[in-house]
Structure 1
Amino acid sequence: MWTTLTNLDLNSVGLSLSLVLIFLVLSEIIRIISSKAKTPPGPQPLPFVGTLPYFLMNPMEFIRSMSQYGEMTTVYFGRKPTIVLNTIQITKEALVQNASSFSGRPPLPVLDWVTDGYGIVLATFGHSWRQQRRFALHTLRNFGLGKKSVEERVSEEGCYLVAEMLKVEGKPFDPQHAIQNAVSNIICSIVFGDRFDYDNKRFEYLLNILKENIIQSGSLIGQIFNLLPFIKHFPGPHQKIYQNAEELKGFIREAVQEHRETLDPDNPRDFIDAYLLEIEKQKSNDDSTFHEENMVMSTADLFLAGTDTTSTTIRWGLIFLMQNQDVQDRCHEEIVRVLGYDRLPTMDDREKLPYTYATVHEIQRCGNIAPAGVIHETTQPAKLQGYNIPKETPILTNLTAILSDKGHWKYPDTFNPENFLDDDRHFYKPEAFLPFSLGPRVCLGETLAKTELFIFITSLLQRIHFLWPSGEQWPDMDGIVSVVRSPRSFNIICHSRGSKE
């Protein structure tokens, strides 16, 4: 009798759970059908997880497929619709003409976990973001951004980078650390007031955990965290993201403490000094967002953004240049004809080096380090191409489609600097070239990145011939798609180019 009742109870529980599950799935399917009727077309989402599995299986193929649905596509990373903008025209309409409606940032649990909403890059579109961004731009300009002083720092660092690479002349080596260290030293000189030697183990470790976090945040574990943020209370690989972020913030806090102890109010040395003075200045202002947590995260934002994006672009550049030896040789010949082997390049040389300048831009176009842009969010209800877009809808820009649009590029699917040269062999920039995005959220470090890319790449091509190691396979050109699209690790061989060649 008891056994019969127990089996009956278990059967009842099992049946009830099955009915609840069926009801939830049916409700989700009805919700998806209702949602799809109001949004632009897109791939069919799965219940609860949306189109996320398709993306995770092959991120670049998924992004490339978006433009088949038209100017706008709807995808679902989880249950919420995200609108993808596939053309330069619709991107301008949203991010420039309707900037106030499309300049938000959605909450991304894995990143909010480590930033607490502070800083600049991921901050909500509002008062704090405006104050922090305005202050950062003003302060960076005061410390040389866009001026000859920063150019000179980049040129000097370019000499260190060339020397570092030629230490292992003729032998295969991974250039990642040297490039990352060189690029990072520029923003470090502005933010921390100092550069770091290439053999500094502490700094090498920080650069490694920075790279690891950028990859992990956009990986499978990062996406799972975004769907199920409560897992932050449990052990697992996601805890490494938090630990790495805390170590980086600890490094910045140590620098802040050192600056606080040696601060001269009349002679600020760098961004941290300027921020400490601003905190003091704003103490009596109830509206101020200047405090230590915002200082740490704003500094981290500048350090991260000023390190990984440019160094990743240069690494892609080396791959394209080794795959296209004719381009590498033409750049070198042009550089030596104008500069010789010893004069360091400056930004004033761009007009005299049109092919090299075009090559730098083509590296950015094909490197495509942000294939879906940096995510935005609507700050209020908006209308686009006849669709009503609710407040707090995530927005992505399909830079992959825009940077390879056959209507805007002569050679959309191949690496060819001719994409940036007119019929008279002068440099020109098509309107579809927007690796730094558009509108109020345009990349804060655009000026610095342009300076670094031109001077570093020109310096390297002036003095070094890059070759692919014999017998080694070329890397998968889709790379690793995360917060930044980066190439997988690879080796190169360097040979010095000198006046006797």
Structure 2
Amino acid sequence: MESVLRYLDWTSVGLALLGGLLSLLLLEIFRLNSSRSRYPPGPKPLLFVGNLPQLINTPMELFRSMTKYGEICSMYLGRQPVIVLNNLQITKEAFVQNGAVFSGRPAMPVIDWITNGFGILAATYGHSWKQQRRFALHTLRNFGLGKKTVEERVAEEAQYLIKEMLKQEGKPFYPIHVIMNAVSNIICSVVFGDRFEYDDKQFAKLLEFLNENLRLLGSTAGQIFNLFPFIKHFPGPHHKVWQNANSLKEFIREAVEEHRKSLDPEHLRDFIDAYLVEMTKQVSKEDSSFHEDNMIMSTADLFLAGTDTTATTLRWGLIYMMDHPDVQERCHEEIIQVLGFDRSPCMDDRTQLPYTYATIHEIQRCSTIVPTVLHDITQPTQLRGYNLPKGAMVMCNLMAIMTDKNHWKYPNTFNPENFLDEKGQFCKNDFFVPFFLGPRACLGETLARTELFIFFTSLLQQLKFSWPPGAPRPNMDGILGIVRSPCPFNTICLSRETTH
């Protein structure tokens, strides 16, 4: 009799569990169908996980496919719907004409975990973000952003980079460290007041942590953390992100303490000095956001944004030059005609180097290191007839805009002619938006444009790049983390003076 009761008990438990699972499944199907009926069409999501499997496995393919659903479509990050904007007109309507409404930053648990909402890049749109961004822009300009002093600094660093690369002349090497170090030295000179040698082991480790975090934050581990943030209490690769971020913050704290000891308010040396003085000025203001935590994270944000994006674009540039040696040769010939071998380039040379300038733009267009930009909505609004609640996520598909077949001569192939007119002169294209639009557009755009032009022109002036014999071509979809990086590759460089 007892065995029969036990059998019935287990049967009841099993039936109850099965009934509960079926109910949960039916509720999720109903919820998803109801949600999809309120939003634009898009790729079919799976229950509970949405389009995350596609985003993790084939992200570039997913972004390219979005245009087939029209100018506005939707996808799902887990159970959360995301409105995707696929052309420039609707992007401007949202992010420029209604910038304050569409400039929120969606909650990303893995990012919030390491920033606590401080700084600029990941901060919520509001008073603190506005104060920090305004101060950063003002201070960067005071320390030479957009002026000849920064151009000279970049030109000088380009020579250090070339000298470092020539140590490997004729031998295959992976150029990630030297390029990151060179680019980082520019923002470091503005933020920390100093540059770092290429053989500085502590700084090399810091750049390694930075690169690893950018990859991990956008990886499967990062996406899983965003879905289930409670896993921070368990072991996993997310703890590597935490450790790396803490190493960067500790590096900045040490720099801040050194600055405090030698601070002269009458003679500011860099961003940290300026921030320390601003903290003192604002100490009595109740609405001030200038405090230690914001200083550490704002400094980290400038270091991160000023290092990785430009360095990643230059690495893509080497790949495209090795893949298109005819373009590389034409750039080199144009540069030598204007500059010779001895004079360093400056921004005034752009008009005399139209093909080289067009090539740099084409590298940015084809690499699209930020294929999409994700924001959320700060208040209820409407867009093209769809009612969007506060907190709804909106994604701009920059890849779709920069490969729009209606606005590019060669949308899907690498060709500098996309930026040249019939006379061979550089011509601007309004659909070239790598730095985004609206209130949250890249605050370092001026610096990035200067670095890309001077570094790229200097490299092609003095060096020739080629694939190592028999080297396989890397997957051109790259690796999508926070930015889209090229897969690891080796290059061979030779001195142009030697080859001439």
**If the length of structure 2 is used for normalisation, what is the TM-score?**
0.99
Larger mean Cα displacement after TM superposition, 288-297 or 52-61:
52-61
Once the two structures are superposed, what CA deviation does each residue of 1:356-386 show, in whole Å capped at 9, x if it has no partner?
Answer: 000010010011101113x111111121111
The answer to whether the aligner puts 1:215 opposite 2:215 as a matched pair is yes
1:462/1:497 contact within 8 Å kept: yes
**Paired AA for residue 224 in structure 2:** I
Give, in whole Å, the separation in 2 of the partners of 1:78 and 1:440: 28
Q: Give the aligned partner of residue 385 of structure 1.
A: 384
Once the two structures are superposed, what CA deviation does each residue of 1:410-442 show, in whole Å capped at 9, x if it has no partner?
Answer: 011111100001112111111110000000000
Once the two structures are superposed, what CA deviation does each residue of 1:228-247 show, in whole Å capped at 9, x if it has no partner?
Answer: 00111111111111111111
Q: Give the aligned partner of residue 376 of structure 1.
A: 375
Give, in whole Å, the separation in 1 of the partners of 2:8 and 2:114: 49
Q: Give the aligned partner of residue 239 of structure 1.
A: 239
**Paired AA for residue 139 in structure 1:** T
Q: Give the aligned partner of residue 157 of structure 2.
A: 157
**Paired AA for residue 399 in structure 1:** L
Q: Give ranges in structure 1 of 5+ residues lacking alignment.
A: none
CA change 1:311–1:500 in 2 (3 A) is closer
The answer to whether the aligner puts 1:143 opposite 2:146 as a matched pair is no
Q: How much has 1:63 moved relative to structure 2?
A: 1.0
Give, in whole Å, the separation in 2 of the partners of 1:260 and 1:223: 39
Q: Give the aligned partner of residue 201 of structure 2.
A: 201
Once the two structures are superposed, what CA deviation does each residue of 1:26-49 show, in whole Å capped at 9, x if it has no partner?
Answer: 111111111111101111111111
Q: How much has 1:2 moved relative to structure 2?
A: 2.6
Give, in whole Å, the separation in 1 of the partners of 2:261 and 2:490: 43
Q: Give ranges in structure 2 of 5+ residues lacking alignment.
A: none
Give, in whole Å, the separation in 1 of the partners of 2:97 and 2:237: 42
**Paired AA for residue 50 in structure 1:** G
**Paired AA for residue 491 in structure 1:** N
Number of residues paired by the alignment?
Answer: 500
The answer to whether the aligner puts 1:293 opposite 2:293 as a matched pair is yes
Counting only pairs closer than 5 Å after superposition, residues 87-98 of structure 1 correspond to structure 2 as: 87-98=87-98
Q: Give the aligned partner of residue 271 of structure 2.
A: 271
The answer to whether the aligner puts 1:248 opposite 2:248 as a matched pair is yes
Q: Give the aligned partner of residue 104 of structure 2.
A: 104
Give, in whole Å, the separation in 1 of the partners of 2:5 and 2:116: 52
Give, in whole Å, the separation in 2 of the partners of 1:334 and 1:25: 64
Once the two structures are superposed, what CA deviation does each residue of 1:374-399 show, in whole Å capped at 9, x if it has no partner?
Answer: x1111111211111111111111111
Q: Give the aligned partner of residue 226 of structure 2.
A: 226
Once the two structures are superposed, what CA deviation does each residue of 1:304-330 show, in whole Å capped at 9, x if it has no partner?
Answer: 000010000000000001110110000
1:341/1:499 contact within 8 Å kept: no
Give, in whole Å, the separation in 1 of the partners of 2:261 and 2:93: 49
The answer to whether the aligner puts 1:493 opposite 2:499 as a matched pair is no
**Paired AA for residue 493 in structure 1:** I
**Paired AA for residue 65 in structure 1:** S
SS at 2:382 equivalent: strand
SS at 2:168 equivalent: coil
Once the two structures are superposed, what CA deviation does each residue of 1:246-269 show, in whole Å capped at 9, x if it has no partner?
Answer: 111011101011111111111110
Q: Give the aligned partner of residue 7 of structure 1.
A: 7
Q: How much has 1:3 moved relative to structure 2?
A: 2.5
Q: Give the aligned partner of residue 324 of structure 1.
A: 324
**Paired AA for residue 283 in structure 1:** V
The answer to whether the aligner puts 1:394 opposite 2:393 as a matched pair is yes
**Paired AA for residue 4 in structure 2:** T
Q: Give the aligned partner of residue 446 of structure 1.
A: 445
**Paired AA for residue 287 in structure 1:** D
Once the two structures are superposed, what CA deviation does each residue of 1:447-501 show, in whole Å capped at 9, x if it has no partner?
Answer: 0000000000000000000010001101000000111000111000001011871
**Paired AA for residue 418 in structure 1:** E
Q: Give the aligned partner of residue 437 of structure 1.
A: 436
Give, in whole Å, the separation in 1 of the partners of 2:15 and 2:170: 70
**Paired AA for residue 469 in structure 1:** P
1:180/1:311 contact within 8 Å kept: yes
**If the length of structure 1 is used for normalisation, what is the TM-score?**
0.99
SS at 1:255 equivalent: helix
CA RMSD of aligned residues (A): 0.9
Once the two structures are superposed, what CA deviation does each residue of 1:198-254 show, in whole Å capped at 9, x if it has no partner?
Answer: 011100000001000000001000000000001111111111111111111011101
Q: How much has 1:126 moved relative to structure 2?
A: 0.2
Give, in whole Å, the separation in 1 of the partners of 2:4 and 2:276: 74
Give, in whole Å, the separation in 2 of the partners of 1:153 and 1:18: 68
SS at 2:82 equivalent: strand
